[in-house]
Structure 1
Amino acid sequence: MHIRGHGLTLADVVHVAYDGSAVVEIAPDVPARLARSRALINAILAEGRIVYGVNTGFGKLSSVTISPAALTELQLNLVRSHACGVGAPLSEAETRAMMLLRANVLAQGTSGVRPVVLEQLVALLNARVHPVIPEKGSVGASGDLSPLAHLALVLIGEGEASFQGERLPGCIALARAGLRPLALEAKEGLALLNGTQAMSAVGGLALARLLDLAELADIAGALSLDALHGTAAAFDARIHAARPHPGQTAVARHLRALLDGSAIMASHRDCPRVQDAYSLRCMPQVHGAARDVFHFAQHTLETEFNSATDNPLVFTDTGEVLSGGNFHGAPVALALDACAMAAATLGGIAERRIERLLNPDLSELPAFLSRQPGLQSGLMMAQVTAAALCNENMGLAHPASVGSLPTGAAKEDFVSMGMTAALKLRTVAENLAAILAIELLVATQALPFLRPLRTSPQLQRVEDFIHTLAPPLEGDTPLTPCIQAIQTRLPDILDVARNAVAGNSA
């Protein structure tokens, strides 16, 4: 794929992050754009003009003018001093996403770097030289300074990198990949450090997962509804046309498609029960609201992927270098915090459905789906685990973006905490995946109790696939392997459901 400073999508980022064969190329028109931008920086230096970030200190030290002879040392000192992260390294996929996003920013031509800087970053990405980037230490303004500094260290042959399964000093990783360290010139260190690419990378990959989990929540919910003798009447298109939120409409349509042809549902069409519990009846409203939040976040992140987020920005059309605040992560932080709340909500409603399946007072099924209740505990603990995960997500749903703490001697007096929001969202998504795996396990363990009646042909294919991972239980057994087997195969379960629905509608 080509990068050109615009047009980068979430799907592109996911592809480069996870596909080991992905190759990134610089669009043909980009080097000339960068050369024009760099020429303006060189002209400013030649004229002796004082411009922030070019020949001054940074942040609170911006009033300090740096002599021409020290400009190279200034950039080197900046990168070294800002590499202050702690904690576990970002995953390989998150690091690759971050490298791609930073390269796309430089490709815009507003950073004032030489083309060789972008070329070096893309070369590292394609050679799979992955900087070791500690995940903690960014407050999200002036962007993700510390994570990006750890990335920049490897470009100049310092820091640490992962290459061919080994964690190595940056200079050795470069040498083994046939690359040479980059010598930074004026402004180039700052251009590599200012920006929101760490929070956007971590948050973007978490969001991509959540978009799939939102669809899986419908599948799990549909299986639960059928196992509980629920009705699809609440999913009637006319109801949702009267309140036309896009997500709500889409979820109702999806549920109708999943449940179409269920023999279980047909068997109790004339039963006296008029309404189901909210966790069943209101799936379109709740799941749909979460989807709408995820799509809002996707729009926000894709805008951010293609934005100039460093400072100052170079405008070659007027010959100006302007200082602003595009590095501030508030748009991303707020979107990711909203996603955490939406994902926690999806997990919460799923846990309520798990409870209904296992509680004999609510389900009309054996207690905890046990073959011998009392002697056996059945799936009792599955709901307990789901509740624990929901509780953790409730805490993680507290927004990071409202928790500003001033930094940089109060020059940076209101920060976004966007990286914290991204890291929280990653955990929330992982917990949601586990909760949905538990619901899929419980629902597919419940359905055999209703034989000879069966669910819809579409959901039957899902049930059959899940039973290859976790067959119907005849007695008590450790449930962790069953949950893990399903959670690992969630993408395959999603594919099975999509193909079944598509085949039914063809």
Structure 2
Amino acid sequence: YSPLAAPLHRIRKQPGQEICAAALREYLRESEIGKQAKEQVQDPYAFRCVPQVHGASWGVLQHVKEVVENELSSVTDNPGVFPDEDRILSGGNFHAQPIALALDYLGLALSELGSISERRLFQLLSGQRGLPPFLVPEPGLHSGMMIVQYTAAAIASQNKQLCTPASADSIVSSNGQEDHVSMAANAGTKTLRILDNLRRLLALELMAAAQALYFRLPANTGQPLRPLVEAFRQKVPPLQADRILSNDMHRAEDFLRQEAEALLKS
């Protein structure tokens, strides 16, 4: 699959992009589907540009990790006490602007992972490339996974709203003494909400991807992914006809949280 070819990613000089492309090449190793003839010259960006988008978010995560680790090994109290110098110094090390900016940045990076995930899900349900509309055997008679995309669209839209930077805000307190604050706590709580939403979005995409694989049988996906798909199918069986999907959504999210990582590493 040429968009994942190593030479393409070497010339970009973005470490996250190279790491992501290499991981995808490994996951898709020995894929029978990948060996099938292609009718389209190029795929939509949401598939073709996964290394570029996911890799950029990986880079943000590394930056935020460095900022947080530096902060954890710092003294952020006031005043600062220096016994070796016999000094007590008042200052502003309590100001959490580095953390606030980093967490807002992280929220944006996580939201983008969810945004591109929703686009991939949409493409899988759109009745293209030999897949039936809404990934159900009898579209029209059955709604299939239509409500899954509705749910994903709502969650992705909420994440976009949550990306408004908390650090752009400030409010005066303490009779004007504390006249500029970082809002780092707000940045953290909304980024945690974005992370929870991202997990839900990826679970919905996993539902759609597993259902799409059902229509590719007997061709199989990459060898490293097969244990994950088989385990997921024990939790969420293929959709043959309309059923209430909320339970499937919860099971998919639980699977992603509790089992998926270990299966990918096995």
With the length of structure 1 as denominator, give the TM-score of the two structures: 0.52
Q: Using the alignment, how far apart are the partners of 1:337 and 1:427 within structure 2?
A: 12
- By how many angstroms is 1:275 displaced? 1.3
1:366 aligns with 2:132: yes
Q: Give the letter aligned to residue 293 of structure 1.
A: V
Compute the displacement of 1:314 (Å).
0.5
Give the Cα–Cα distance (whole angstroms) in 1 for the partners of residues 112 and 60 of structure 2: 11
Match of 1:502 in 2: none
Q: Letter of the aligned partner of 2:4 in structure 1?
A: F
For the structure 1 residues 442 and 272, does the alpha-carbon distance in structure 2 shift closer, same or farther, using more than 3 Å as the test? closer
Deviations 1:181-203 (A, max 9, x none): xxxxxxxxxxxxxxxxxxxxxxx
**Residue in structure 2 matching 1:353, options 94, 109, 120:** 120
Does 1 or 2 have the higher relative contact order (CA < 8 Å, sep 6+)?
2
Partner residue in 2 for 1:191: none
SS at match of 2:81: strand
**Contact 1:356/1:363 (<8 A) preserved:** no
Alignment of 1:21-420 (within 5 A): 232-268=1-37, 271-360=38-127, 362-420=128-186
Partners of 1:377 and 1:393 in 2: how far apart?
26
2:230 to 464, 469, 479: 464
* 8 Å CA contact retained: 1:353, 1:439: yes
Mapped partners of 2:68, 2:255: distance in 1: 27
Instruction: Determine the C-alpha separation between the residues in 1 that align with 2:129 and 2:235.
Output: 24
**In structure 2, what is the equivalent of residue 43 of structure 1?**
none
Runs of 4+, deviation exceeding 6 Å: none
Give the Å deviation of 1:246: 1.4
Residue by residue over 1:226-271, the C-alpha shift from the partner in whole angstroms, topping out at 9 and shown as x without a partner, is: xxxxxx2111111111012111111011110101110011122xx3
Aligned residue number for residue 221 of structure 1: none
- Please give the root-mean-square deviation of Cα atoms over the aligned residues, in Å: 1.0
Q: What letter is aligned with 1:436?
A: L
Shift of residue 351, structure 1, vs aligned partner: 0.3
C-alpha distance in 1, partners of 2:94/2:4? 44
Q: Distance in 2 between matches of 1:369 and 1:239?
A: 32
Residues 1:486 and 2:252 are matched in the alignment = yes
Answer yes or no: is the 8 Å Cα contact 1:461–1:496 preserved in 2: yes
- Separation (CA, whole Å) in 2 of partners of 1:295 and 1:482: 33
Letter of the 2:206 counterpart:
L
- Deviation of 1:367 (Å): 1.1
Aligned length: 265
Distance in 2 separating the partners of 1:419 and 1:364? 48
User: Please, what TM-score do these two structures have when normalized by structure 2?
Assistant: 0.97
1:497 partner letter: L
Identity of aligned residues (%): 40
Distance in 2 (CA, whole Å) between partners of 1:320 and 1:434 is 52
- Structure whose alpha-carbon radius of gyration is higher: 1
User: What is the Cα deviation at residue 489 of structure 1?
Assistant: 2.2
Gaps of 5+ in 2: none
Match of residue 434, structure 1, among 190, 194, 200 = 200
- Kept in 2, the 8 Å contact 1:336–1:425? The answer is yes
| Structure 2 residue 238 is the aligned partner of structure 1 residue 495 | no
CA–CA separation in structure 1 for the residues paired with 2:14 and 2:174: 43
Q: How big is the shift at 1:364?
A: 2.4
CA–CA distance in structure 2, aligned partners of residues 292 and 412 of structure 1: 34
For residues 140 and 36 of structure 2, what CA distance do their matches in structure 1 show? 30
SS at match of 2:25: helix
- Unmatched tracts of structure 1, length 5 or more: 1-231, 500-506
Q: CA deviation at 1:308?
A: 0.5
Task: Indicate the SS of the match to 2:168.
Answer: coil
CA apart distance, 1:391:
0.6
SS of equivalent to 1:314: strand
Deviations 1:409-466 (A, max 9, x none): 2211111000000000111001000000000011001101111111111111111111
Give CA-to-partner distance per residue, 1:304-334, whole Å, 9 cap, x none.
1111111001001100000111111101000
